[in-house]
């Protein structure tokens, strides 16, 4: 059972480039989340989804987009990368909105 799988693990982007961070879960969870983690700031929610076809903004959505075409996949798109998007990104999933969240291993992104 793989749980939550994120790819890639590391990436360096140049300013203005775009990329997609992939996230897949095999636990049939309805809820999926994207967080970014910056030193001393904890985790900030970027976007979340309560099921296929439904997404909503979190606390820090600017500069990002998501889609949820299937229960399993929840990709995060960065358009026009900026240095402020240098961070560690975590995808998570849960069965209920108040249930335990399972996290991926993270993607370390650097924008130069």
Partner 1 sequence: AQSVTQLGSHVSVSEGALVLLRCNYSSSVPPYLFWYVQYPNQGLQLLLKYTSAATLVKGINGFEAEFKKSETSFHLTKPSAHMSDAAEYFCAVSDQNTGNQFYFGTGTSLTVIP
Taking residue 64's Cβ as centre, other Cβ atoms within 10 Å add up to: 19
State the nearest-atom distance from the C-beta of 15 to partner 1, in Å. 26
Pick the closest to residue 23 from 33, 37, 13 (CA basis): 33
State the nearest-atom distance from the C-beta of 80 to partner 1, in Å. 26
The whole-angstrom separation of Cα 82 and Cα 102 is: 28
State the nearest-atom distance from the C-beta of 53 to partner 1, in Å. 15
Residue with smaller CB distance to partner 1, 2 or 14: 2
Residue with smaller CB distance to partner 1, 48 or 74: 48
Sites of contact with partner 1 (CB under 8 A): 4, 31, 33, 35, 40-43, 45, 48, 50, 56, 58, 90, 92, 97-98, 100-106
**Exposed, middle or buried: residue 20 (CB in 10 Å: 0-12, 13-18, 19+)?**
middle
Residue with smaller CB distance to partner 1, 17 or 73: 73
Residue with smaller CB distance to partner 1, 17 or 103: 103
Taking residue 21's Cβ as centre, other Cβ atoms within 10 Å add up to: 23
């Amino acid at each position: 059972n793989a749980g939550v799988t994120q790819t890639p693990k590391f990436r360096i982007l140049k300013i203005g480039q775009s990329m997609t961070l992939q996230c897949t879960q095999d636990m049939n969870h309805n809820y999926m989340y994207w967080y970014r983690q910056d030193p001393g700031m904890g985790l900030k929610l970027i976007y979340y989804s309560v099921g296929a076809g439904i997404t909503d903004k979190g606390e820090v959505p600017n500069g990002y987009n998501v889609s949820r075409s299937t229960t399993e996949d929840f990709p995060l798109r960065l358009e026009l990368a900026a240095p402020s998007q240098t961070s560690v990104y975590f995808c998570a999933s849960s069965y209920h909105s108040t249930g335990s969240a399972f996290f991926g291993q993270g993607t370390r992104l650097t924008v130069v």
